[in-house]
Amino acid sequence: MPFNMQIKKIPQNGEDFQNIYFNPKFVQARKSGKKLLSKLLRFVFLAGFCFAILYPIILMVSKAFMQRMDVFDNTVILIPKTFTLQNFQIAILQLDYWKSLTHTLFLSTMIMVLETASCLLVGYGFARFNFKLRGLCMALVVFTIIVPPQLILSSMYVQFKMFDPLGLISLFGGKPISLIDTYWPFAMLASTAMATKNGLFILIFTQFFRNMPKEFQEAAFIDGASSFQTFRKIMLPNAKTAIVTVALFGFLWQYNDLNYTSMFLRSKEVFSNTFYRLSTFTTQVYDMLGTNQYDMTLDMYYPVIRSTGVLLILLPLILLFLVAQRQFVESIERVGIVG
């Protein structure tokens, strides 16, 4: 190769060096070399990070299918000697899985629908209308994001425990109702845009509607559409990406929520309550395993059941993620401006 030979010849004076350095072939080689190097570096880093993220999940899956004896066996790495579904059976029993699943799914879906609708309206109001208190209200929306939920939760608990809006019920001689362990607190919070991270959703919608061309609205106005018609017929169909983003995140964050659920739903079978049960086996499970609770070998086996339970709880989310993966990733990039 000609340019290789040129490199070997060490340039003595500046002119010679320039000739070689700016030789088009050398420049090309340099560029492609750099490109290759940066590609290699990127590959190494990304592969490493991805592995680090996936490895614990792979471990969990492999342990979930292992038999009890395989867990202690040091020669068993990742692939179990005997596949078994017993771990899943125990975890399902412990979690009260199907009941918890339906409750959690129902709750998350309900909240997702309600909060998306309310945040959509509010975001549109902030983006497209001018009113005196708009600046103040927007600042207060940001404020609601900053405040940790614990600050309001404990008094909200008392409020819902003795629910009596404006003293109306006691006025008519009734007793305050307890709404704890019902879905009502969640429905109320979600439909007034006050559930988990709803301030963020309002900001996302506001940003999104602000970037929409004003001409749409003006044209609709000239054609005689009322404001709500404009919203429903023109703005909504165009806001699909933002709606999908907010709905997906709303679902995800509600499904995973501990703050609100552990406050308002204390004895209902939802995952945020039942997963604590993974730590203590029922007698039924001991019978299934053929041991009792004093069996010392079980100490190593408990974590396996717990990680299997975690896997079972995450399963619906992972399925949802696989189905809506493209929407998730693309929408957050497109709407991502949470400014």
Among 36, 61, 85, 152, binds other proteins (CB under 8 A): 152
Q: By CB under 8 A, which span of 6-14, 84-92, 143-151, 290-298 interacts with other proteins?
A: 143-151
Question: Which residue, 50, 231, 224, 229, is CA-closest to 125?
Answer: 231
Distance in Å, CB of 28 to other proteins, minimum: 16
Verify binding: residue 78, other proteins, rule CB under 8 A: no
C-alpha angle 39-43-46 in degrees, rounded to nearest 5 = 135
Among 69, 147, 219, 319, binds other proteins (CB under 8 A): 147
State how far the Cα of 275 lies from the Cα of 188, in Å rounded to an integer: 26
- Chain positions 249 to 268 lying near other proteins, rule: CB under 8 A, are 252-253, 255-259, 262-263
Give the 3-state secondary structure of residue 235: helix
Which residues share a beta bridge with 163?
177
Q: By CB under 8 A, which span of 8-16, 21-29, 39-47, 282-290 interacts with other proteins?
A: 39-47
| Residue 103, CA distances (Å) to 44, 110, 221, 315 in order | 43, 11, 44, 15
Verify binding: residue 46, other proteins, rule CB under 8 A: yes
Verify binding: residue 62, other proteins, rule CB under 8 A: no
- Chain positions 160 to 219 lying near other proteins, rule: CB under 8 A, are 161-162, 188-189, 191-194, 202
Question: Which residue, 115, 57, 62, 47, is CA-closest to 317?
Answer: 57
Q: At what angle do helices 134-146 and 97-128 cross, to 10 degrees?
A: 150
Give the 3-state secondary structure of residue 129: coil
Per the structure block, which two tokens stand in for 3? 């340019």
Per the structure block, which two tokens stand in for 249? 């995140």
Verify binding: residue 282, other proteins, rule CB under 8 A: no
Give the binding-site size for other proteins (rule: CB under 8 A). 91
Distance in Å, CB of 93 to other proteins, minimum: 17
Verify binding: residue 39, other proteins, rule CB under 8 A: yes
Among 159, 182, 241, 291, binds other proteins (CB under 8 A): 159
State how far the Cα of 230 lies from the Cα of 263, in Å rounded to an integer: 40
- Chain positions 111 to 140 lying near other proteins, rule: CB under 8 A, are 118, 121-122, 124-126, 128-132, 134, 137, 140
- Chain positions 301 to 320 lying near other proteins, rule: CB under 8 A, are 302-303, 306-307, 309-310, 313-314, 317-318
State how far the Cα of 113 lies from the Cα of 118, in Å rounded to an integer: 9
Nearer to other proteins, 131 or 172 (CB): 131
